[in-house]
């Protein structure tokens, strides 16, 4: 499948039928989902459920100026899920930080929203994108209180990394990634 790469682990046993497969979207991180493997496999998926980990190269500190569109990302996710678990299976979607953006695109997808059984947001950026300082502070580091070592590390490793910065400034439509409570419909 062309587009975002993904890794799939089938369900460990037949007794996992009551647990919906997990779709995980990582945040800005060197190595992409690799940093999240322990949390996902031994934490969120320790019950043996099927798991999908989707890769977003531009925010994985990988040399890539290519950026997939929101529509193409959603289509790749839908195709991957349909290929591995079928088109009728419900899923749980989980995203950390920037990973909440592709989750929002899936939530807004008319062809996929009915399949979302649970939503897990880990430090989501999509619920604060409407705040005027969020983008400025992340990309330009304008907030005066950003003098801590943690903020400096995040700034150097994430927002100022060449390919991540290129994606965020040139290809990422912030206004299409805002998540509002009205966007989340039952049963999720």
Tell whether the torsion through CA atoms of 172, 178, 183 and 184 is positive or negative: positive
* Percent of residues, the chain, with pLDDT higher than 70: 86
Topology of domain 6-127+174-183 in CATH is Rossmann fold (3.40.50)
**pLDDT tens digit string along 56-109?**
888 777 787 888 889 999 999 999 999 999 999 999 999 999 999 999 999 999
pLDDT of residue 131: 87
Coil, helix or strand at residue 21? coil
Residue extents of the structural domains in the chain: 6-127+174-183
- Alpha-carbon distance 20 to 11, whole Å? 10
**pLDDT tens digit string along 143-174?**
555 567 766 666 666 667 888 888 888 888 88
Task: Name the band, by pLDDT with cuts 50, 70 and 90, for residue 44.
Answer: confident
145-149: long-range pairs with CB below 8 Å, 24+: none
Coil, helix or strand at residue 14? helix
pLDDT of residue 142: 62
Nearest C-alpha neighbor of 159 from the set 97, 106, 101: 97
């Amino acid at each position: 499948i062309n587009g975002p790469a993904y890794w799939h682990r089938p369900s460990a046993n037949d007794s996992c039928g009551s647990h919906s497969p997990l779709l995980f979207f990582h945040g800005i991180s060197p190595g992409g989902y690799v940093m999240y493997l322990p949390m996902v496999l031994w934490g969120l998926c320790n019950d043996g459920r099927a798991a999908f980990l989707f890769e977003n190269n531009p925010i994985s500190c990988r040399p890539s100026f290519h950026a997939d569109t929101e529509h193409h990302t959603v289509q790749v996710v839908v195709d991957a899920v349909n290929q591995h678990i079928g088109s009728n299976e419900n899923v749980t979607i989980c995203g950390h930080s920037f990973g909440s953006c592709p989750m929002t695109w899936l939530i807004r997808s008319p062809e996929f929203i009915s399949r979302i059984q649970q939503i897990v947001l880990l430090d989501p950026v999509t619920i604060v994108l409407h705040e005027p300082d969020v983008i400025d502070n992340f990309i330009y580091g304008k907030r005066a209180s950003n003098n801590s070592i943690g903020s400096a590390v995040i700034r150097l490793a994430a927002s100022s990394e060449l390919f991540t910065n290129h994606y965020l400034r040139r290809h990422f439509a912030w206004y299409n990634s805002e998540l509002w409570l009205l966007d989340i419909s039952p049963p999720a």
